[in-house]
């Protein structure tokens, strides 16, 4: 497969030359244009054959072949940026086995407490989560739901200032704006006090982050590393696999995870976006250890430097109170299973009364799509909360192409109208919930590195239910009768957008 990989890279490079020559074809002899056309055709045919031989899901295979056949140039560019799949088995093999080794080495530290029994409502689901996610369920972790940017970043800044030993941060987007500078200044001040700080940011998500920002942190001893650096996107096979995680670990005891990146727009300061509705989670105690392990493994993958030692894994004395079950799961292309998607599927199929979902980007695969329809047809109260003011038109209209079938099955769909809704939640029966970085879309399921916290019978689940009901008050419910009246051109654009959904 390595030989095919290099062949594809060469073809991608040649294709770039073909495009440049094509744009200036009027100044080139016609016979050269003919040769280039033949070369372009052969390249597209070869890429089609590669996609066919990769044994992807039939829907993805057909979508790619249709796009390549109908729009050779655009299809080729899309494949370059988003489709190459020769791929994660080799790229992330080392990382997966490291994750597995760490998990096996940490099983002896499993918390004692209330364990799910065979007669528990969700016993099988929790066992599945433990097996797929390579992390243990904690029953002595305190959690607090943080609603929106102000509450979240107030708590984060307070926790950062209280750090005594180390701070670990991992983010998809970091901005050099007012909030970004404030976080940077806090980190520099803590570094001056002798706190060890490591900062991991995604190279594509934070592509606007100036080098000066990074240099300034490094100058004060803050170890700062870009995840999946991309120098030449057309020839870089890591371009499509991004670290979408948002993690903070402070002294191994306090942790944060959720949907908010570091930037002013997450505080509602971007006028083009408006109010930013989001949800984050603060953890204290044993469950933070799982976040720590995820960060350590991601850091080692990028730097080859391991600090998997007791200094970072030993916890402060953990309270004996039982707070309900908490499990932190990492999903990504390095795993042999689609961890978070599989857990979502199991949550939906385990539901007895309600399935409430909030997602800014809703591009389900066939498994999730079918599970939602079957649950609704079975009489379960299935609700979907999405934004009415999207930040991506193609994703927005691709999402709406799924609505008619869902509405006909009895799913209730709400569009949030008070700004941009970015929360990533699933709540089942008011007892079980997921909160984290994973959207309900193909990219989060199969391509991005994600992390979610799964909560079982905690007070935080009750808070999520309360917030969800409040969000519905400021949302418009879609009805099948009125939704079917949208124009022909709107339906056409939705169908075209859906054609791209396997890549979104």
Active-site residue set = 244, 246, 251, 422, 424, 429
Distance, CA of 384 to CA of 192 (rounded, Å): 47
* Cβ–Cβ under 8 Å, residues 69 and 45: no
Q: What's the Cα-to-Cα distance from 102 to each of 105, 285, 481, rounded to whole Å?
A: 5, 19, 53
Q: With H, G, I as helix, E, B as strand and everything else as coil, classify residue 500.
A: coil
**Cβ count near 231 (within 10 Å):** 7
Cβ within 8 Å of residue 186, ≥6 positions away: 157, 160, 161
Q: What's the Cα-to-Cα distance from 184 to each of 175, 222, 225, 289, rounded to whole Å?
A: 10, 10, 15, 24
Torsion (CA) 92, 94, 96, 101 in degrees, nearest 10: -170
Buried (b) or exposed (e) across 241-258, using 16+ Cβ within 10 A? bbbbbbbbbbbbbbbbbb
Contacts of the segment 180-187: beta carbons below 8 A, 24+ positions apart: 180/213, 180/262, 180/263, 180/264, 182/157, 183/156, 183/157, 183/262, 184/213, 184/216, 184/217, 186/157, 186/160, 186/161, 187/160, 187/217, 187/222
Nearest C-alpha neighbor of 458 from the set 279, 323, 257 = 323
Distance, CA of 54 to CA of 86 (rounded, Å): 7
* Cβ–Cβ under 8 Å, residues 451 and 331: yes
Structure tokens given for 459 = 């007070």
Residue showing tokens 């990533």: 424
* Cβ–Cβ under 8 Å, residues 475 and 458: no
Contacts of the segment 294-297: beta carbons below 8 A, 24+ positions apart: 294/170, 294/245, 294/247, 294/328, 294/330, 294/451, 295/168, 295/170, 295/198, 295/200, 295/247, 295/249, 296/102, 297/95, 297/98, 297/99, 297/102
Q: Would you call the peptide bond into 360 cis, given omega within 30 degrees of 0 as the criterion? A: no
Distance, CA of 34 to CA of 479 (rounded, Å): 54
Distance, CA of 93 to CA of 90 (rounded, Å): 5
């Amino acid at each position: 497969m390595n030989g095919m990989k290099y062949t594809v890279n060469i073809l991608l490079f040649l294709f770039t030359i073909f495009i440049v020559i094509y744009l200036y074809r009027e100044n080139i002899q016609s016979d050269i244009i003919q040769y280039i056309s033949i070369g372009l055709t052969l390249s597209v045919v070869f890429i089609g054959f590669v996609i066919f031989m990769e044994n992807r899901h039939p829907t993805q295979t057909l979508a790619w072949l249709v796009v390549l056949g109908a729009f050779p140039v655009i299809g080729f560019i899309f494949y370059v940026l988003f489709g190459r799949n020769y791929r994660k088995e080799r790229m992330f093999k080392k990382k997966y086995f490291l994750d597995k080794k760490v998990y096996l080495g940490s099983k002896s530290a499993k918390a004692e407490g209330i364990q799910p029994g065979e007669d528990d409502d969700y016993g099988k689901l929790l066992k599945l989560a433990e097996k797929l996610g390579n992390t243990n369920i904690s029953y002595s972790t305190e959690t607090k739901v943080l609603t929106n940017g102000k509450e979240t970043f107030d708590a984060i800044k307070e926790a950062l200032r209280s750090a005594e030993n180390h701070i670990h941060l991992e983010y998809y987007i970091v901005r050099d704006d007012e909030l970004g500078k404030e976080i940077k200044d806090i980190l520099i001040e803590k570094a001056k006090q002798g706190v060890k700080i490591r900062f991991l940011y995604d190279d594509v998500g934070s592509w606007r982050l100036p080098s000066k920002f990074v240099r300034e942190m490094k100058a004060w001893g803050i170890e700062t590393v870009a995840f999946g650096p991309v120098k030449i996107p057309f020839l870089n096979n890591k371009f499509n696999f991004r670290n979408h995680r948002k993690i903070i670990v402070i002294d191994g005891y306090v942790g944060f995870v959720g949907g908010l990146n570091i930037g002013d727009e997450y505080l509602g300061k971007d006028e083009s976006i408006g109010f930013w509705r989001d949800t984050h989670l603060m953890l204290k105690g044993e469950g933070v250890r799982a976040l720590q392990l995820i960060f350590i493994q991601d850091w080692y993958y990028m730097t080859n430097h391991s600090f998997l030692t007791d200094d970072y894994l030993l916890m402060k004395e953990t309270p004996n109170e039982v707070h309900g079950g908490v499990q932190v799961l990492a999903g990504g292309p390095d795993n042999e299973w689609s961890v978070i998607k599989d857990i979502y599927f199991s949550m939906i199929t385990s539901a007895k009364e309600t399935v409430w979902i909030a997602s800014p980007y809703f591009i389900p695969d066939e498994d999730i799509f079918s599970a939602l329809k079957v649950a609704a047809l079975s009489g379960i109260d299935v609700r979907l909360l999405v934004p009415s003011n999207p930040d991506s038109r193609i994703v927005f209209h691709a999402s709406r192409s799924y609505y008619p079938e869902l509405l006909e099955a009895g799913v209730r769909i709400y569009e949030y109208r008070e700004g941009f809704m970015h929360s990533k939640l699933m709540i089942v029966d008011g007892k079980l919930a997921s909160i984290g970085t994973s959207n309900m879309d193909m990219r989060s399921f199969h391509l991005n590195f994600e992390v979610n916290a799964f909560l079982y019978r905690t007070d935080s689940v009750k808070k999520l239910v309360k917030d969800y009901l409040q969000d519905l008050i400021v949302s418009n419910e879609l009805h099948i009768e009125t939704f079917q009246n949208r124009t022909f051109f709107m339906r056409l654009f939705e169908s075209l957008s859906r054609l791209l959904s396997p890549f979104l």
